[in-house]
Structure 1
């Protein structure tokens, strides 16, 4: 377990906290990194990506997405954009004028065989996502399933992503395939996690341990006070990771090609709306 510490940034990027620090590729596989950001308009103007997916969860504020393949959306608090960069895309994520957006952005790796898949944008509205309800617990399912409640989100790499809200004293268990790797990030409140009831509070990140070869596993959350957390888990890819700025491939040669293709205009041309 560790704590994500926010640091001030210059310009219109007010603060940023590394939830999953970059570079620990094998430990976090299939996840590459996750940042918690507080930012204003102009911070993330048009920029390229290739070889992975971005999953952006808006906590506060309204965020506009535009990309070079026609993807467009206004995300409200609780909404998610799931963007498959694949073979290459140029996009922007811009708060609406006068607003500060508080968000999480996860980078999800793609296997070598899928890194050049066509780009895709999924706008996942919180109001349209399936919800699992238990006593004192609300689990909103953005990807994968929870207690038999499943989302229709399209995945390249199998991933479970749920937002869990618990009343004080309530508990819930999230079922997962035994081969998944994952983590829980506490957004609000305080509680105990897992079979050992590890205590954690807002800002803490908890790794989900392996199932020891079992086909299935589960993660249990118990709230000592009103608690909100996000849980991400996915099937490891087990391939080399070479990252250079906004490109994530498996070899240095593929990174060089990505840079060349971007400068050659092969990532499409974005248009502002």
Structure 2
């Protein structure tokens, strides 16, 4: 069987979003087809409230899904549908913007560490103007698995199959079939998760370092891997890795800020709808 190899690596760039929240954009905004069905991945992490306290005041989205994974800290969500949720350490917020959502995400703490990731996941054309949706997952609702190798896995979405374990995640989605795992590899451990051939595969190392098919990945690096064969992750000194895999949609991607559609005309329509106050109707 072939082995999945690293095709490219990158490091994120420091930026800010919302009302000045400082974060690292690991990818997003340019050449999204390379990462299809994933559009953007942000990592945020600070113990300085000045860097996160202003949060993300009300703003719109259309045409995709957002997944927020809170590793440490507390964030309050409110949207035009009347949903209110408190995202706590270890929890996940899964929002399907579809035809339109206006929401806010505001920190619910004045000090301490705020740390996590937000992923943007594309929707196929047939679903971009569908009904929006929202779901909060408390930490207890997200499967956490201790594998025989000592690796610990948080199975956010998809299905983790490794070492005789077959664990469904908290969320399953059609079309893109996302797999989203937070893997904690102790020193000297390895894991071989089974992933569908043909799915896009990304690894984000956010603590420690790993090796993949003899290639080294260190903290802060994002890697895109080949889409066929066996995957083996190893760590000599310990690591935490966010694994993203999903089935590419293979449709045109046109993005303007918080709107992601298939054509410029659809983007212009989204802008008009927002201006006219009918984005969410």
Q: TM-score scaled by structure 1?
A: 0.89
Q: Is the 8 A contact 1:144 1:161 kept in 2?
A: yes
- Distance of 2:225 and 2:238 partners within structure 1: 22
Q: Is the 8 A contact 1:23 1:32 kept in 2?
A: no
2:198 matched to which residue of 1?
Answer: 179
Question: What is the CA-CA distance between 1:197 and the residue it aligns to?
Answer: 2.5
Indicate yes or no: 2:155 matched with 1:104. Answer: no
1:214 matched to which residue of 2?
Answer: none
Q: 2:28 aligns with which of 1, 18, 21?
A: 21
Counterpart of 1:243 in 2: which secondary structure? Answer: strand
1:121 matched to which residue of 2?
Answer: 134
Q: 2:151 aligns with which of 137, 158, 166?
A: 137
Instruction: Point out where structure 2 has 5 or more consecutive residues left out of the alignment.
Output: 1-7, 46-50
1:244 matched to which residue of 2?
Answer: 256
Counterpart of 1:175 in 2: which secondary structure? Answer: coil
- Distance of 2:35 and 2:29 partners within structure 1: 9
| Aligned residue pairs, count | 262
- Distance of 1:249 and 1:173 partners within structure 2: 35
The CA RMSD measured in Å over matched residues stands at: 2.1
Q: TM-score scaled by structure 2?
A: 0.86
Structure 2 vs 1, CA of residues 159 and 8 (structure 1 numbering), >3 Å: closer, same or farther? closer
Deviation readout 1:176-196 (Å, 9 max, x if unpaired): 110100201011111212xx2
Indicate yes or no: 2:265 matched with 1:253. Answer: yes
Structure 2 vs 1, CA of residues 207 and 46 (structure 1 numbering), >3 Å: closer, same or farther? same
Question: What is the CA-CA distance between 1:45 and the residue it aligns to?
Answer: 0.5
Structure 2 vs 1, CA of residues 138 and 53 (structure 1 numbering), >3 Å: closer, same or farther? same
1:151 matched to which residue of 2?
Answer: 169
Indicate yes or no: 2:65 matched with 1:78. Answer: no
Counterpart of 1:177 in 2: which secondary structure? Answer: coil
- Distance of 1:233 and 1:102 partners within structure 2: 22
Structure 2 vs 1, CA of residues 11 and 149 (structure 1 numbering), >3 Å: closer, same or farther? closer
Instruction: Point out where structure 1 has 5 or more consecutive residues left out of the alignment.
Output: 212-216
Indicate yes or no: 2:102 matched with 1:90. Answer: yes
- Distance of 1:12 and 1:52 partners within structure 2: 22
Within 5 A, what are the aligned runs for 1:36-55?
36-38=43-45, 39-55=51-67
